[in-house]
Amino acid sequence: MTATPSGDRLNHRPPPPGPTTSPEAGPVAAPQGGPPSGPVADPPSGPVAGPGAGPSAVRVWRDLRTLVLEVADVRTRVTEELGMSYFRAKALRHIATEGPLTLSALAAGLFADAPHTTLTVEYLVQRGHVTREPNPADRRSKLVEVTEQGARAAAVMARVSDTPPPALRGLSQADLTTLERILDSALRTE
């Protein structure tokens, strides 16, 4: 468990990886094309997994996911504030900061497929957040650009998603500097 600055205890940390066997069924095997069912399997080891894939890396990864997805719960807060899905809000913010963009450039920037991006842009157009006009440089494509209303909504998305959770704001400057260095190093290796 982790203590927050206010002394509250968080029970979000999952237990360490358990055995790869189930008392009832014996070894846990992964179904075709899916993750293992039952108890959490030990993390992979050996040359495929690399030196940082042991139980410590798994626990750190779980804790990072818990902090971002459960404790901070940015996606839910963005959805509640803007009345649209997190993906749509993310697309709107991307258009506001990087636009105007072609649909294909937007899809690439969001790591999404073209049909899903097109539906997202259609939704944003209907809500008055973006416009979609012919691209003067290439008549075969359209440019998506944020409107004033969309810029205001994108600013809300930025405010909500860029506000660190209390658990992170409560860390000392030395701890934040160390964490920043570690994350910078991890992101450079990707």
We report the CATH number of the domain holding residue 133 as: 1.10.10.10
CA–CA dist 187, 143 (Å, integer): 31
pTM beyond cutoff 0.75: no
Residues 96/150, Cβ–Cβ less than 8 Å: yes
Asked whether residue 80 is domain-assigned, the answer is yes
Asked whether residue 180 is domain-assigned, the answer is no
pLDDT band at 99 (very low <50, low <70, confident <90, very high): confident
What pLDDT is recorded for position 68? 86
Which residues span the domain enclosing 136? 76-159
Expressed in angstroms, the distance from the first to the final Cα of the chain is 29
Percent of the chain with pLDDT over 90: 57
Asked whether residue 139 is domain-assigned, the answer is yes
Higher pLDDT: 132 or 7? It is 132
Asked whether residue 1 is domain-assigned, the answer is no
Asked whether residue 101 is domain-assigned, the answer is yes
Please, which residues have CB within 8 angstroms of residue 117's CB and are 6 or more apart in sequence? 91, 103, 106, 107, 110
Percent of the chain with pLDDT over 70: 72
Asked whether residue 3 is domain-assigned, the answer is no
Q: How many residues does the chain have?
A: 190
CA distances to 11, 74, 111, 164, 181 from 184, in Å: 27, 21, 21, 17, 5
Asked whether residue 88 is domain-assigned, the answer is yes
Residues 60/79, Cβ–Cβ less than 8 Å: no
pLDDT band at 84 (very low <50, low <70, confident <90, very high): very high
Asked whether residue 148 is domain-assigned, the answer is yes
20-24, 90-94, 151-155, 166-170: least confidently modelled range: 20-24
Q: What is the pLDDT of residues 24-42, one digit of tens each?
A: 333 333 334 433 344 444 4
